[in-house]
Amino acid sequence: MLKRVIPYAHTLLKELVQVGDTVIDATCGNGHDTLVLSECVAETGTVYGFDIQAQALEETRRRLTVHNQPERLLIQDSHANLLDHLKVQDYHNITAAIFNLGYLPGGDKSIITTPQSTLDAVQVILEHLKKGGLLILVIYHGHEGGSDERDQLLTYVQSLEQKDYDVLQYGFVNQKNNPPFIIAIEKKRMLIY
C-alpha cells in the first residue's frame, strides 16, 4: 500500500501535469522521469531535460524513442544553468520539475550532484514555477557528498515561507543504508476572498 519513493514521485507528477504543460527533468539520468513527464504532457507539451553526462542523455533519448515519444529538449549542461536554456514563453510557466540527486545509476559514481548547483537550480525553478506547480527532489544521500547536499537542501526548504509554499517530506524511516526520500514543494495558489 505504501509506495516507494520513485513511484510516489511519479504519482504526484501524474496527478498534476496535463497535456500541453511545460515541465523539467533537472537530472535525466537513465530517462525514467523524463519518460513519465513526456507521457503526461503529450505531443503539445514541452519537456526540458538536463544532465551533464552525454551517456545519460543518450539513454534518455533511447528510452523516449522505445516508448514512441516525441523529441524533447535534452540539454547537456548543469541544471544550475537551466535559465540559459529556458524559452522566454516558459518563464513563470513551469508546471512541474523533478530532480533525482546523487549519481547516474550504472555510470561513474564520482560524478555527483552538488549542493550549490542543486540549490541554484531549485531557486530558479521555484521562481518560474506557476501557482499550484510542484518541484520534487528525490534525495539519495548514501554516497560521499550526499549528506552535505541533503543537509543544505533541508535547511533551504525549511526556510521557505509557509504562505508561499507547502513542503512535504516523504520517505521510509526504518530502512537501512540511508534510504532515499522525497521533498515535494508546491507553490501555493493565490487565495481568493
B/e letters for 2-20, b = 16+ CB within 10 Å, e = fewer, are: eeebbebbbebbeebbeee
Residue 153: what pLDDT? 96
Average pLDDT value for residue range 178-183: 94
Residue 175: what pLDDT? 87
Kindly tell me if the per-residue pLDDT of 188 is higher than 90: yes
Q: Alpha-carbon distance 174 to 25, whole Å? A: 29
Query: Looking at residue 103, what DSSP letter applies?
Result: B
pTM of the model: 0.94
Query: Higher confidence at residue 144 or residue 70?
Result: 70
Q: Alpha-carbon distance 136 to 12, whole Å? A: 9
Average pLDDT value for residue range 124-147: 93
Q: Which residue shows C-alpha cell 522566454?
A: 88
Q: pLDDT over 90 for what percent of the chain? A: 82
- Side-chain half-sphere exposure of 145, counting CA atoms within 13 A: 12
Q: Please give the helix or strand (H or E) that residue 182 lies within, else none.
A: strand 181-187
State how far the alpha carbon of 163 is from the alpha carbons of 159, 166, 183, in Å. 12, 8, 18
Average pLDDT value for residue range 143-153: 89
Residue 64: what pLDDT? 98
22: which strand partners? 46, 94
pLDDT in tens, 34-60: 999 999 999 999 999 999 999 999 999
Domain ranges of the chain: 5-187
Residue 75 CB contacts under 8 Å (≥ 6 apart), including other chains: 48, 49, 50, 51, 57, 82, 85
94: which strand partners? 22, 129
Residue 10: what pLDDT? 97
Question: What cell numbers appear for 115 in the block?
Answer: 549542493
Kindly tell me if the per-residue pLDDT of 107 is higher than 90: no
Average pLDDT value for residue range 103-112: 86
Q: Alpha-carbon distance 97 to 102, whole Å? A: 16
Residue 191: what pLDDT? 54
Fold (CATH) for 5-187: Rossmann fold (3.40.50)
**How would residue 142 be classed by pLDDT, with cut points 50, 70 and 90?**
confident
pLDDT in tens, 10-38: 999 999 999 999 999 999 999 999 999 99
Kindly tell me if the per-residue pLDDT of 192 is higher than 60: no
